[in-house]
Amino acid sequence: MRPKNNFYLLKELLKLCEISVSNKVDNTVKVVSAADLEKSKKNYISAFFNPKYIDLLKKTKASIIIMNKKFLKYLPKGKIPLLSEYPEIDFAKVLNFFYPNSYFSKIDYESLSIDKIKEKYKKINFGLNFYVEKNVSIGKNVFIGNNVTIKKDCIIGNNVIIGCNVVIENSIIHDDVHICDGSIIGKKGFGFKFLNNKCVRIPHFGKVIINKGCEIGANCVIDRGSVRNTVIGENTFMDNFVQIAHNVVIGKKCILASQVGIAGSTFIGDNVVIGGQAGISGHLVIGNNVKIGGKSGVIKNIADGQMVMGYPATSFKEFVKKNK
């Protein structure tokens, strides 16, 4: 919810979000919005709970940080800490407050008239039974298959081809992208926390951005980001059944074979080739020109140009030595 005066007093916000803080702070500071450490600006509220992102904490412009007491030593001067036993849950509450309805998105029941959609998008080649919500932009020379759902605010570029039974929401699809049958693009990611048997769902108001020339196989799923975007770089090709979790960023000209899974918030460089059924853990950084063998399980960062294989993945040399 957007504040009426363009800001809330911190004490108002904490009350509205049902958050209790264990330290005394200046309750009259203004809060204008909430975001992750990287995107936050002055008078934003953010949170710190994963020590991997300590560099972002040091550089953040957020004024208020929800965090655990044990990390207080890393907090830069001038920031207001909100000490919490469950900073992730409290941050989710704040985000859900500023971005309501950003978890499971229902369809827009007012967009159900095929005739109106046809009238509006006269030049688009729709298949049988199309559904497009409000505020969707579709480029030239676009071909859409049967039973396709495109939800509000999506942007579809020129020369895009979309197969049958595809669902697209919260996404920007650039020119020359092909999306095969049965793929789900832009649904909310897998994020929630339980506290005393109550489930707090992590909001997902990021987008999926698929850059120019990409190809997405059949029955793939690409989740949208929570507080930032999920991004697929130009000319990256994915085979069938690929799973891309929230916040993943993939570079240009990567090749992902079938049944690959990439867990949340992992960065992948350019020209990376990933063999079938390989899995990559969350919050990792995979360099440029990396080759990952089929069925590998990657649980560490990989430097540029490396070739790895195995579970857990090691250098290809070591894998061969181990298994001869």
Where on the chain is the footprint of a second copy (CB under 8 A)?
Answer: 104, 106-107, 109, 112, 114, 125, 127-129, 131, 143, 145-147, 149, 161, 163-165, 167, 178, 180-182, 184, 187-188, 190, 192, 194, 197, 199, 213, 215, 217-219, 221, 223, 235, 237, 239-241, 243, 245, 253, 257-259, 261, 263, 276-277, 279, 281, 294-295, 297, 299, 310-312, 323
246 is catalytic: yes
Query: Would you state the structure tokens that stand for residue 300, as one six-digit string?
Result: 């560490």
Q: Which residue lies nearer to a second copy by CB, 29 or 184?
A: 184
Task: Kindly state the smallest distance separating residue 324's Cβ from a second copy, in Å.
Answer: 10
Q: Which residue lies nearer to a second copy by CB, 27 or 147?
A: 147
Cβ-based neighbour number of residue 313 at 10 Å: 23
**Eight-class DSSP state of 307:** E
Query: Would you state the structure tokens that stand for residue 202, as one six-digit string?
Result: 């992590």
**Of these residues, 174, 204, 246, 283, which one is catalytic?**
246
Question: What size, in residues, is the chain?
Answer: 324
| 3-state SS assignment for residue 155 | strand
Query: Would you state the structure tokens that stand for residue 259, as one six-digit string?
Result: 């049944």
Q: Which residue lies nearer to a second copy by CB, 156 or 218?
A: 218
DSSP percent split of the chain into helix, strand, coil, nearest 5 = 15, 30, 55
Residues with Cβ within 8 Å of 78's Cβ and at least 6 positions away in sequence, in order, are none
Task: Kindly state the smallest distance separating residue 238's Cβ from a second copy, in Å.
Answer: 8
Q: Which residue lies nearer to a second copy by CB, 26 or 318?
A: 318
Task: Kindly state the smallest distance separating residue 296's Cβ from a second copy, in Å.
Answer: 9
Phi, psi of 47 (to 5 degrees): -150, 155
Contact 32, 6 (CB under 8 A): yes
Task: Kindly state the smallest distance separating residue 96's Cβ from a second copy, in Å.
Answer: 15
Report, as residue numbers or ranges, the catalytic residues: 246
